[in-house]
């Protein structure tokens, strides 16, 4: 049951991050979920670095969304730019 909750919460965090980040992202359910789960991990690591969380404490919703937004920004800068009109 824990894995199912992780997927659901990751999807919600990914949706919030994509809604707060301007621009068009053609990502589906899986990419959005992975973005949210990875964002929670990044948010937890950042929280530990800045002293917000102790060892073993999960990230809050806000830090998870911040982590997901950071990953989304990094993805946009590192992903190649493609045009729909070119082959």
> How many structural domains compose the chain?
1
On whether residue 85 sits in a domain, the answer given is no
Mean pLDDT (the chain, rounded): 80
Q: Which range of residues forms the domain containing residue 39?
A: 2-16+27-78
Distance CA 30, CA 5 (A): 15
Predicted pLDDT at 84: 56
Dihedral sign for Cα atoms in the order 61, 62, 68, 71: negative
pLDDT digits (tens, 9 = 90+) for 29-47: 788 888 888 888 888 888 8
- Quick one: pLDDT band at residue 85, thresholds 50, 70, 90? very low
CA-closest candidate to residue 71, choices 22, 18, 26: 18
pLDDT digits (tens, 9 = 90+) for 53-71: 777 777 788 888 888 888 8
**pLDDT computed for residue 22 by the predictor:** 77
Q: Has residue 14 got a pLDDT over 70?
A: yes
- 50 domain-assigned: yes
29 burial type by CB count under 10 A (0-12 exposed, 13-18 middle, 19+ buried):
exposed
């Amino acid at each position: 049951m824990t894995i199912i909750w992780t997927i659901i919460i990751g999807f919600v965090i990914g949706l919030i991050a994509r809604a707060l980040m301007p621009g068009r992202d053609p990502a589906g359910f899986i990419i959005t979920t992975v973005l949210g789960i990875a964002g929670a991990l990044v948010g937890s690591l950042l929280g530990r670095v800045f002293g917000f969380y102790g060892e073993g404490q999960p990230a809050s919703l806000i830090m998870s969304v911040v982590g997901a937004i950071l990953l989304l920004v990094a993805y946009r800068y590192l992903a190649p730019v493609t045009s729909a009109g070119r082959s």
